[in-house]
Protein backbone atom coordinates (compact mmCIF):
# COMPACT_ATOMS: atom_id res chain seq x y z
CA UNK A 1 0.00 0.00 0.00
CA UNK A 2 1.35 3.47 -0.83
CA UNK A 3 2.28 5.78 2.04
CA UNK A 4 -0.05 8.60 3.05
CA UNK A 5 2.42 11.08 1.53
CA UNK A 6 2.40 9.13 -1.76
CA UNK A 7 -1.42 9.17 -1.81
CA UNK A 8 -1.59 12.95 -1.34
CA UNK A 9 1.25 13.58 -3.83
CA UNK A 10 -0.38 11.43 -6.51
CA UNK A 11 -3.82 12.94 -5.88
CA UNK A 12 -2.47 16.51 -6.12
CA UNK A 13 -0.44 15.86 -9.26
CA UNK A 14 -3.28 14.08 -11.04
CA UNK A 15 -5.89 16.75 -10.30
CA UNK A 16 -3.84 19.95 -10.46
CA UNK A 17 -1.04 19.04 -12.91
CA UNK A 18 -2.75 16.56 -15.25
CA UNK A 19 -6.38 17.77 -14.82
CA UNK A 20 -7.43 14.17 -14.06
CA UNK A 21 -10.61 14.52 -12.02
CA UNK A 22 -11.00 10.74 -11.65
CA UNK A 23 -8.47 11.05 -8.82
CA UNK A 24 -11.15 12.73 -6.68
CA UNK A 25 -13.32 9.60 -6.60
CA UNK A 26 -10.29 7.34 -6.37
CA UNK A 27 -8.59 9.02 -3.40
CA UNK A 28 -11.40 10.58 -1.35
CA UNK A 29 -13.75 8.76 0.99
CA UNK A 30 -17.39 9.50 0.06
CA UNK A 31 -17.91 10.48 3.73
CA UNK A 32 -14.93 12.86 3.77
CA UNK A 33 -15.07 16.16 5.60
CA UNK A 34 -13.82 19.11 3.57
CA UNK A 35 -13.17 22.73 4.48
CA UNK A 36 -11.77 24.74 1.56
CA UNK A 37 -11.54 28.53 1.62
CA UNK A 38 -14.78 29.71 0.05
CA UNK A 39 -16.43 26.27 0.24
CA UNK A 40 -17.42 24.10 3.17
CA UNK A 41 -19.07 20.76 2.81
CA UNK A 42 -19.15 17.24 4.17
CA UNK A 43 -19.20 15.86 0.62
CA UNK A 44 -16.87 15.81 -2.35
CA UNK A 45 -19.00 18.46 -4.06
CA UNK A 46 -16.78 21.17 -2.49
CA UNK A 47 -13.68 19.62 -4.09
CA UNK A 48 -15.33 19.31 -7.50
CA UNK A 49 -16.66 22.89 -7.28
CA UNK A 50 -13.24 24.26 -6.28
CA UNK A 51 -11.47 22.49 -9.16
CA UNK A 52 -14.18 23.47 -11.66
CA UNK A 53 -14.06 27.11 -10.56
CA UNK A 54 -10.29 27.27 -10.95
CA UNK A 55 -10.09 25.31 -14.22
CA UNK A 56 -12.93 27.37 -15.69
CA UNK A 57 -11.14 30.62 -14.90
CA UNK A 58 -7.49 29.79 -15.64
CA UNK A 59 -5.53 28.23 -18.49
CA UNK A 60 -1.84 27.44 -18.88
CA UNK A 61 -2.00 26.08 -15.35
CA UNK A 62 1.23 25.08 -13.64
CA UNK A 63 1.07 23.41 -10.23
CA UNK A 64 3.95 22.65 -7.90
CA UNK A 65 4.38 20.93 -4.55
CA UNK A 66 6.66 23.12 -2.45
CA UNK A 67 6.61 20.99 0.71
CA UNK A 68 5.03 17.69 1.64
CA UNK A 69 5.29 16.56 5.26
CA UNK A 70 3.67 13.44 6.67
CA UNK A 71 3.31 12.23 10.23
CA UNK A 72 0.94 9.45 11.20
CA UNK A 73 -2.40 9.92 9.45
CA UNK A 74 -1.74 13.63 8.63
CA UNK A 75 -0.12 15.02 5.50
CA UNK A 76 0.65 18.73 5.11
CA UNK A 77 0.89 19.92 1.50
CA UNK A 78 2.28 23.37 0.68
CA UNK A 79 1.46 24.13 -2.96
CA UNK A 80 1.70 26.84 -5.60
CA UNK A 81 -0.27 27.17 -8.84
CA UNK A 82 -0.17 29.74 -11.59
CA UNK A 83 -2.32 30.34 -14.62
CA UNK A 84 -3.70 32.89 -17.06
CA UNK A 85 -7.05 34.36 -15.99
CA UNK A 86 -9.33 33.80 -19.01
CA UNK A 87 -12.77 33.24 -17.49
CA UNK A 88 -14.86 34.45 -14.55
CA UNK A 89 -13.37 33.75 -11.13
CA UNK A 90 -16.24 34.34 -8.76
CA UNK A 91 -17.43 37.82 -9.64
CA UNK A 92 -14.13 38.81 -11.33
CA UNK A 93 -14.32 38.87 -15.13
CA UNK A 94 -11.35 37.60 -17.15
CA UNK A 95 -8.34 39.90 -16.96
CA UNK A 96 -5.82 38.01 -19.09
CA UNK A 97 -3.32 38.34 -16.25
CA UNK A 98 -1.08 35.51 -15.12
CA UNK A 99 -1.46 35.04 -11.38
CA UNK A 100 0.20 32.84 -8.78
CA UNK A 101 -1.76 31.29 -5.94
CA UNK A 102 -0.22 29.64 -2.89
CA UNK A 103 -1.74 27.64 -0.07
CA UNK A 104 -1.57 24.81 2.42
CA UNK A 105 -3.74 21.72 2.72
CA UNK A 106 -3.73 19.43 5.73
CA UNK A 107 -5.09 16.00 4.85
CA UNK A 108 -6.03 13.09 7.10
CA UNK A 109 -5.70 9.70 5.41
CA UNK A 110 -7.23 6.45 6.67
CA UNK A 111 -7.11 3.09 4.90
CA UNK A 112 -5.64 4.62 1.74
CA UNK A 113 -8.39 7.27 1.40
CA UNK A 114 -8.49 10.96 2.25
CA UNK A 115 -11.09 11.41 4.99
CA UNK A 116 -10.53 15.04 5.93
CA UNK A 117 -8.93 18.16 4.47
CA UNK A 118 -8.46 21.66 5.80
CA UNK A 119 -7.35 23.96 2.98
CA UNK A 120 -6.19 27.56 3.19
CA UNK A 121 -4.94 29.79 0.39
CA UNK A 122 -3.86 33.42 0.10
CA UNK A 123 -6.97 34.94 -1.49
CA UNK A 124 -5.86 38.50 -0.76
CA UNK A 125 -2.79 38.04 -2.96
CA UNK A 126 -4.87 36.49 -5.75
CA UNK A 127 -7.38 39.34 -5.84
CA UNK A 128 -4.55 41.87 -5.67
CA UNK A 129 -2.89 40.21 -8.69
CA UNK A 130 -6.24 40.28 -10.53
CA UNK A 131 -6.34 44.03 -9.97
CA UNK A 132 -9.56 44.14 -7.96
CA UNK A 133 -7.96 45.41 -4.75
CA UNK A 134 -6.57 48.89 -4.50
CA UNK A 135 -4.71 50.29 -1.55
CA UNK A 136 -4.61 53.94 -0.50
CA UNK A 137 -1.34 55.69 -1.20
Residue 40 confidence (pLDDT): 60
pTM of structure:
0.89
Whether domain 4-129 has CATH 3.10.450.50: yes
How confident is the model over 69-93, as a mean pLDDT? 96
Q: What is the number of alpha carbons within 13 Å of residue 67 lying toward its C-beta?
A: 9
* Strand intervals (E) in 37-112: 39-41, 58-71, 74-85, 98-110
Residue 60 makes CB contacts below 8 A (sequence gap 6+) with 83, 84, 98
pLDDT grade for 35, boundaries at 50, 70 and 90:
confident
pLDDT above 80 for 134: no
Amino acid sequence: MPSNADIVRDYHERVWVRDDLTAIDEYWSPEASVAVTGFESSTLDAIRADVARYRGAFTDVEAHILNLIAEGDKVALHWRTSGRHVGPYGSVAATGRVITMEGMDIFRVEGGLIVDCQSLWDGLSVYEQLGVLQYPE
